Structure 1
């Protein structure tokens, strides 16, 4: 099996020499190239297949953000990572669209290795190079027009309300994913993973959110008429309910906070692959949805048949590129079919259960095939007898919604 190739770009020779020394123990695992300019990197890429590009931002000649944009356009399958000593707002804004992840200097070798290995590890989830390139090349996840208008209007005010901004973002899958991606980058150096949209918005602050939405246009408004076979409103509502149910299931099972936070994030993002597919290959995905509905077949079975992959795998692939925790990626990838050898309670458990129970109680359309609860998996980890309690938790939550309660945001 051929080794993966990693390219490092930095205009400071001493930094490159430091990276070479730091990463010497990994020479048996990776081929590595070190170069001091964006122009030289582009020349090398013409003849050197590269899997991951790691670059500084502020460089003379071709800046890191310009390099990332050029690589994104010409070599979209390459994973693009920022490694920079500049964590100011301008640096973040310049690189937020073309980069998959952001790391700050100094960076411990094990942290850099973990980030690179995770990006390489998720590559197998989407084997088709064309589809992988389309996913990697996405500028922004689509958002509902109404919510985009609401967030833009609030951020255009003289004194926007952080509480209102968090509430709006928490209602949208694409906005939630982008904000969580950014706040958990090492640019900000937070000691622990941030699992709440509300907390993420508070930590980023109004200035950064304004720049992302009003200047960089990090969110794209999707033309819902392009996909007549999918209800975007229904998809968003299902995602939010699954997120909230996953957290409630974790609470009922007395899980620790980190597991509950990651289950909540994974619940919100478990169907994000549908947004990716409907954005990158809408004609094919319309055929998937039409066939599923007309023939009363499970969506993910038809996806595999027509696209060679599923929305679960696509979503996990993108979130892996974005550096989400492994347990979140796992929950997204396997929420329909948990892996039997996994013998411990994890975010996947709560998301699998929450997804099935929400579909069971909230019908999307008359031909929708409700996914099966994997009782073998639940029995294997010793929680199959929790099902009656989870059913009560679900019914209580849905009754609260029917009585006029608001859909929660993701935290």
Structure 2
């Protein structure tokens, strides 16, 4: 697993310095809201053992451009265009029904001018993660398929939620369970445990992971979000996406992303007949309260999911 241009250990050390230097916070959250240093060390060791392809340098170059006071959109577009396969995937996603784009976008430079660098960077990152997921085999493939289903569901829900961009919801929903993909590479029979617990009792899955490995997939996801230089509020959402009390998260952007993901998972549950699980029901109610989705919109989303069964 490659972290950045200076290698995985340098990327890990950067994540540690950002989250655990004296007085630091991530997205305004207290220190207790991020993984302990020892947990991040265990997560790093797990990531190093897994056979996960490298993220392209393009991702870090785009994030670096995005961090500038005045990002150069032409330069960003030229960077993306250097990877024609990734460019094609991004444009296909932008023009898909999940993103409600009013006009067809035929070039990444056009996408940048219409959507802005942050949204395009999210989509490029998501498609790069998708490329990583596509390399999955065996039990990991089962996890991969579920992750992609969740991502599409989250993007669909975001389409009716004010203040949550479909591209960010899509990226978040992909990233939140990437740690599970890594565990599937490392632990025999993990895929079976994941299928048994993840859809309906994800907090039980987290407890199983911690009992087996000392860490959970949310911690691994937080680590990867930091090494891949994703926004702080997205990293917090990844780490806390199975929290029992949504209101305990201070950043409203993190809460909204988690809530959108919960509803996406609920819609996937409708497709598979697992929506009656108590934990899924509780998360659905909390998410609807958080996002204040109109009843008509929620009815339409449920009907759409029901037609996919």
Alignment partner of 2:18 out of 117, 130, 141: 117
Q: TM-score, normalising length from structure 2? A: 0.57
Partner of 1:206: 81
Structure 2: unaligned runs, 5 residues or longer: 27-33, 89-127
Q: TM-score, normalising length from structure 1? A: 0.45
Partner of 1:79: 10
Partner of 2:300: 396
The C-alpha deviation readout for 1:138-173, integer Å capped at 9, x for no partner, is 67459xxxxxxxxxxxxxxxxxxxxxxxxxxxxxxx
Distance apart, 1:329 and its partner CA:
0.2
Q: Please say if residues 239 and 270 of structure 1, whose CA atoms lie closer than 8 Å, have aligned partners that are also in contact.
A: no
Task: Tell me how far apart the structure 2 counterparts of residues 403 and 325 of structure 1 sit (CA, whole Å).
Answer: 35
- Aligned pairs for 1:371-382 (under 5 A) are 371=280, 373=282
Alignment partner of 2:230 out of 321, 324, 337: 324
Partner of 1:301: 207
Q: Which structure features the higher share of strand residues?
A: 1
The C-alpha deviation readout for 1:345-377, integer Å capped at 9, x for no partner, is 22x222222222222232275668553546998
Decide which structure has the larger Cα Rg and report it: 1
CA distance change for structure 1 residues 180 and 130 in 2, over 3 Å: closer, same or farther? same
Task: Tell me how far apart the structure 2 counterparts of residues 305 and 343 of structure 1 sit (CA, whole Å).
Answer: 28
Q: 1:288 aligned to 2:197?
A: no
Distance apart, 1:328 and its partner CA:
0.6
The C-alpha deviation readout for 1:268-306, integer Å capped at 9, x for no partner, is 422222223223x1426236326638x977433322332
Q: Please say if residues 126 and 132 of structure 1, whose CA atoms lie closer than 8 Å, have aligned partners that are also in contact.
A: no
Moved more, 282-291 or 303-312: 282-291
Q: Please say if residues 60 and 229 of structure 2, whose CA atoms lie closer than 8 Å, have aligned partners that are also in contact.
A: no
Partner of 1:171: none
Aligned length: 247
Distance apart, 1:135 and its partner CA:
1.1
Task: Tell me how far apart the structure 2 counterparts of residues 358 and 311 of structure 1 sit (CA, whole Å).
Answer: 19
- Aligned pairs for 1:149-298 (under 5 A) are 181-186=59-64, 191=69, 202=77, 204-209=79-84, 219=131, 221-227=134-140, 230-246=142-158, 248-249=160-161, 251=162, 255=163, 262-279=168-185, 281-283=186-188, 285-286=190-191, 288-289=193-194, 292=197, 298=204
CA distance change for structure 1 residues 123 and 137 in 2, over 3 Å: closer, same or farther? farther
Higher relative contact order (CA 8 A, sep 6+): 2
Task: Tell me how far apart the structure 2 counterparts of residues 193 and 377 of structure 1 sit (CA, whole Å).
Answer: 38
The C-alpha deviation readout for 1:307-337, integer Å capped at 9, x for no partner, is 3322222111111122111101011111121
The C-alpha deviation readout for 1:125-148, integer Å capped at 9, x for no partner, is 762745422315667459xxxxxx
CA distance change for structure 1 residues 190 and 284 in 2, over 3 Å: closer, same or farther? farther
